[in-house]
């Protein structure tokens, strides 16, 4: 045993390595990115040759991990919460096929939307697919639970969801770690996972039959502990990190059911209800448990939580709103400052996306009814001043398909702007639709040679974009590459104008490396040069 | 004993390096620690903060409650004011005095300094100038850490200096010395 200071994400990564992981499959997404990065840089993982290269999107990641599981080895899939939507088809059906080697699906939720477009709660996905969900309350549990989750996955032959939130993923604490276990040997599954209706029906019954085992495991779990103390007026169900805020407010002076493993342990919930006059449910994210508890206890039993307004309906929990719900109001000693202005994030000075927006705004100003459909990445910041360039940002890849739909409806000019990594993540299929329909759209793939917003991870399509566009059927004379620099503005605006006027699909690829990764690469080159002296 | 600290500034100013040094020193001293950071979108030139909690007792919450911060350590004067509702009644603000202006509606500077001066316990210094005088223009964050050192109490100046030495060791002795010098100037040694 030794102690290390680890981010929640790093604790998950090290927990997985030490549990005998053979491959992590992931697409970068805040707040999950550091898990895969840790494995990529970990000496033991390198020595073992644990797979850790970034995947094109969450669906390819989920499927590759399921394949590794089929071959008998332990695999981890990591993503931010909205990635669960992308991989949902593969994920939900992995519960029907079942697994062979342990399979853990890590979803990092982002209540309060620090870096996201919604606050969806991944615990719903676990319930939807009818598989267990683990929700660690601190960094040590995050580490310990990886081994438990892999073992449990292999016991019940089902994938396990591990759900964390931003405040655990991105918070550091000391974690006691143990030695790395051996990886599973290759042990190819002898069953066929062919989900033809006749087979899938049987498999679905198998999954239903496993539910009592999952429920019993949650009742017996060391992570779902009962604490007794204080008045019997209120019992508290504290899920995941909510437990910390509850303990911060009431210490040992409360009756608490800590929940970190689902399905919800219904017997323990009933017992808490019997022993107390009312129950407060404290959970970060959506009222997943609150709705279930209402079902378990029935009408008439007083339940408090996010749905009753005792806790805020939206946004993350914190020590203040939880203390308030427990009648232990915290308070500020000082009022908010008077001389204070918001400081929103912005595109870096010198970033190529800036030049792209400057050119786009200049050219489009000549048209009365243009719209630019945006996508997900640093360039989404083009929606903010000074550019205010975007009409939409919905999900990965939606820029191209929304521009297509709007063009179908008669919008002109209909422009899409998408980053290189987002294009390969989910933009390519939409571009094929547009080509097949000869839609009148202009697609800008702003290529900075990296996945920028999450800190500069490799981008799956680097050096392949012209070939991909041509392969999808974009006409060669309408695939145009420019270098986004202020000095090239006349050329860029001229090309944009020509391609907007072309009645069909055109793709313009402004290509210049992200200034953050360029600076990093320069530093690395300098270090390498000095090391070789 | 506990110390709850909010570290803040603008993305790219190096507040996480300050957290790393304090974290290292606390870990070596056997003090419990939790440190919540914000990564991702907010790093791009926007406001950034980190909640750093140190205690000899068990720490539950990763976040500091309102009115609970013993210290606000800020790389930028307006940013230090952003977290005022979190400052404890007898808490202290340790901040750079020099504004970082990358927004069009930055408040009036004189009014900002006046508001800072009206608070009961504020320590401010033009840390960038001090770092330049120390011949280490990039060491402003270590000057700030030096300024904050007397208020940390739960860890000693010596423990912080050892942590700086350990953390910058891989970058060579010159970098270690430059950062120690910046730290010492901030600490007024």
Q: What is the pLDDT along chain A (533 residues), one digit of tens a residue?
A: 688 999 999 999 999 999 999 999 999 999 999 999 999 999 999 999 999 999 999 999 999 999 999 999 999 999 999 999 999 999 999 999 999 999 999 999 999 999 999 999 999 999 999 999 999 999 999 999 999 999 999 999 999 999 999 999 999 999 999 999 999 999 999 999 999 999 999 999 999 999 999 999 999 999 999 999 989 999 999 999 999 999 999 999 999 999 999 999 999 999 999 999 999 999 999 999 999 999 999 989 999 999 999 999 999 999 999 999 999 988 999 999 999 999 988 899 999 999 999 999 999 999 999 999 999 999 999 999 999 999 999 999 999 999 999 999 999 999 999 999 999 999 999 999 999 999 999 999 999 999 999 999 999 999 999 999 999 999 999 999 999 999 999 999 999 999 999 999 999 999 999 999 999 999 999 888 887 87
| Residues in A touching B108 (Cβ below 8 Å) | 339
Which phi and psi (to 5°) does residue A506 adopt?
-125, 150
* pLDDT of A213: 98
CB contact under 8 A, A334 and B84: yes
Q: pLDDT, tens digit, for every residue of A72-116?
A: 999 999 999 999 999 999 999 999 999 999 999 999 999 999 999
CB contact under 8 A, A114 and B36: no
pLDDT in the model for residue B109: 96
- Flag whether residue B166 sits within 8 Å of chain A, measured between CB atoms: no
Residue recorded with tokens 């209540």: A111
User: Of the candidates B24, B27, B35, which has its C-beta nearest A171's C-beta?
Assistant: B35
Residue A170 has its nearest CB partner, among B23, B37, B111, at: B37
Please report the pLDDT score of residue A531 as a whole number.
Answer: 79
Chain A interface disruption, residue of B23, B26, B44, most A CBs within 10 A: B44
At B40, the pLDDT band (50, 70, 90 cuts) reads low
Partner A, chain B 71-90, Cβ-Cβ below 8 Å: 78-79, 81-82, 84-89
| Residue A282 exposure: Cα atoms within 13 Å on the Cβ side | 29
In angstroms, the separation between the Cα of residue B36 and the nearest Cα of chain A is: 4
Measured between CA atoms, the residue of chain B closest to residue A351 is: B44
Q: Do B61 and A245 touch (CB under 8 A)?
A: yes
Which residue has tokens 């392949």? A464
Q: Is the model's pLDDT at B43 over the cut of 90?
A: no
Q: What is the CA radius of gyration of chain A?
A: 25
Question: Distance of CA A174 to CAs A143, A171, A248, B30, B135, Å?
Answer: 11, 10, 18, 10, 35
Q: For residue A245, give both structure tokens.
A: 């805020």
Contact flag B62-A332 (C-beta cutoff 8 Å):
no
Residues of A in contact with B65 (CB under 8 A): 248, 318-320, 323, 330
Position B14 confidence tier, pLDDT thresholds 50, 70, 90: confident
Phi, psi of A185 (to 5 degrees): -75, 165
Taking CA A67 as the corner, what is the angle to CA A65 and CA A72, rounded to the nearest 5 degrees?
A: 95
Helix axes A139-156, A8-18, angle to 10 degrees: 40
Cβ atoms within 10 A of the Cβ of A361, count?
Answer: 16
Dist. CA A73–CA A103, nearest whole Å: 8
Answer whether A335 sits within 8 Å of B84, measured CB to CB: yes
CA dist list (Å): A364 to A372, A488, A498, B113? 9, 17, 12, 43
pLDDT at B41: 59
Distance from CA of A250 to the nearest CA of B (A): 11
Q: How many CB atoms sit inside 10 A of residue A201's CB?
A: 12
Is the pLDDT at B42 greater than 80? The verdict is no
Instruction: Give the pLDDT confidence score for residue A217 in this predicted structure.
Output: 98
Best residue in B60, B67, B170 to probe A by mutation, most A CBs within 10 Å?
B60
In this complex, which of A172, A248, A337 lies closest to B35 when CB atoms are compared?
A172
Nearest Cβ partner for B63 among A319, A346, A378:
A319
**Structure tokens, B138:** 């990039």
Strands lying side by side in the sheet with B32-36? A2-7, A171-177, B32-36, B47-55, B2-10, B69-74, B87-96, B122-125
Residues 125-164 of B with CB under 8 A from A: none
Which H helix or E strand runs over A4? strand A2-7
Point out the residue among A168, A320, A348 whose CB comes nearest to the CB of B65. Answer: A320
- The model carries a pTM of 0.96
Is B56 in CB contact (< 8 Å) with chain A? Answer: no
Give the residue-averaged pLDDT of B145-172.
95
pLDDT tens-digit series, residues A254-298: 999 999 999 999 999 999 999 999 999 999 999 999 999 999 999
Contacts of A519 in chain B (CB under 8 A): none
Complex ipTM more than 0.90, yes or no: yes
In angstroms, the CA B9 to CA A519 distance is: 22
């Amino acid at each position: 045993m030794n102690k290390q200071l680890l981010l929640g994400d790093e604790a998950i990564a090290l927990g997985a390595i030490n549990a005998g992981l053979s491959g992590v499959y992931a697409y970068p997404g805040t707040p999950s990115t550091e898990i895969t990065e840790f494995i990529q840089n970990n000496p033991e993982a390198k020595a073992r040759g644990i797979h850790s290269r970034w995947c094109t999107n969450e669906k390819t990641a989920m499927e590759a991990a399921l394949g590794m599981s089929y071959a008998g080895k332990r695999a981890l899939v990591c993503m931010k919460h909205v990635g669960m939507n992308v991989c949902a088809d593969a994920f939900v059906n992995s519960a029907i096929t079942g697994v062979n080697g342990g399979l853990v699906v890590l979803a990092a939720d982002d209540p309060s939307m620090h870096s996201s477009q919604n606050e969806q709660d991944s615990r719903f996905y676990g319930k939807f697919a009818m598989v267990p969900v683990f929700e660690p309350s601190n960094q040590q549990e995050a580490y310990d639970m990886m081994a438990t989750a892999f073992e449990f996955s292999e016991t019940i032959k089902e994938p396990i969801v591990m759900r964390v939130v931003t405040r655990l993923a991105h918070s550091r604490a000391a974690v006691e770690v143990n030695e790395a276990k051996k990886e599973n040997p290759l042990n190819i599954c002898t069953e066929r996972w062919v989900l033809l209706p006749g087979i899938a029906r049987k498999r679905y019954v198998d999954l239903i039959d496993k539910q009592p085992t999952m429920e019993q495991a949650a009742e017996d779990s060391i992570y779902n502990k009962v604490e007794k103390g204080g008045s019997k007026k209120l019992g508290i169900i504290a899920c995941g990190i909510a437990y910390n805020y509850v303990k911060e407010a009431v210490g040992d002076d409360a009756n608490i059911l800590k929940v970190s493993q689902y399905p919800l342990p219904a017997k323990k919930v009933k017992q808490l209800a019997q022993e107390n006059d009312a129950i407060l449910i404290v959970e970060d994210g959506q009222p997943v448990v609150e709705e279930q508890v209402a079902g378990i206890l029935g009408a008439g039993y007083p339940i408090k939580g996010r749905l009753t307004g005792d806790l805020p309906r939206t946004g993350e929990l914190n020590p203040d709103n939880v203390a308030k719900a427990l009648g232990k109001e915290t308070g500020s000693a000082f009022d908010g400052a008077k001389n204070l202005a918001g400081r929103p994030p912005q595109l870096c000075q010198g970033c190529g996306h800036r030049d792209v927006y400057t050119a786009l705004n200049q050219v489009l100003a000549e048209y009365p009814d243009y719209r630019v459909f945006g996508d997900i990445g640093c360039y989404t910041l083009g929606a903010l001043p000074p550019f205010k360039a975007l009409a939409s940002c919905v999900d990965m890849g939606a820029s191209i398909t929304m521009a297509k739909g709007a063009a179908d409806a008669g919008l002109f000019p209909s422009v899409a702007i998408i980053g290189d990594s987002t294009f390969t993540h989910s933009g390519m299929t939409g571009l094929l639709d547009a080509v097949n329909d000869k839609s009148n759209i202009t697609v800008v793939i702003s290529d900075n040679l990296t996945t920028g917003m999450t800190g500069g991870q490799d981008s799956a399509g680097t050096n392949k974009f012209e070939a991909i566009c041509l392969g999808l059927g974009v006409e060669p004379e309408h695939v145009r590459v420019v270098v986004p620099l202020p000095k090239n503005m006349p050329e860029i605006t001229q090309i944009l104008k020509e391609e907007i006027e072309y009645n069909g699909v055109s793709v313009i690829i402004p290509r210049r490396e992200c200034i953050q990764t360029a600076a990093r690469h320069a530093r690395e080159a300098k270090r390498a040069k000095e090391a070789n002296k | 004993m506990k110390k709850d600290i909010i570290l803040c500034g603008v993305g790219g100013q190096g507040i996480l390096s300050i957290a790393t040094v304090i974290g290292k020193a606390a870990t070596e001293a056997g003090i419990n620690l939790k440190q919540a950071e914000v990564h991702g979108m907010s790093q791009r030139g926007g406001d950034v903060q980190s909640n750093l909690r140190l205690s000899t007792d068990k720490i539950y919450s990763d976040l500091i409650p309102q009115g609970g911060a013993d210290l606000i350590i800020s790389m930028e004067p307006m940013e230090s004011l952003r977290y005022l509702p979190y400052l404890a009644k007898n808490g202290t603000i340790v901040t750079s005095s020099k504004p970082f202006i990358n927004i069009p509606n930055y408040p009036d500077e004189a009014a900002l300094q006046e508001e800072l001066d009206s608070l009961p316990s504020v320590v401010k210094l033009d840390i960038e100038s001090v770092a330049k005088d120390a011949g280490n223009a990039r060491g402003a964050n270590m000057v700030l850490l030096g300024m904050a050192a007397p208020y940390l109490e739960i860890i000693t100046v010596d423990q912080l200096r050892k942590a700086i030495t350990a953390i910058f060791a891989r970058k060579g002795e010159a970098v270690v010395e430059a950062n120690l010098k910046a730290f010492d100037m901030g600490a007024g040694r």
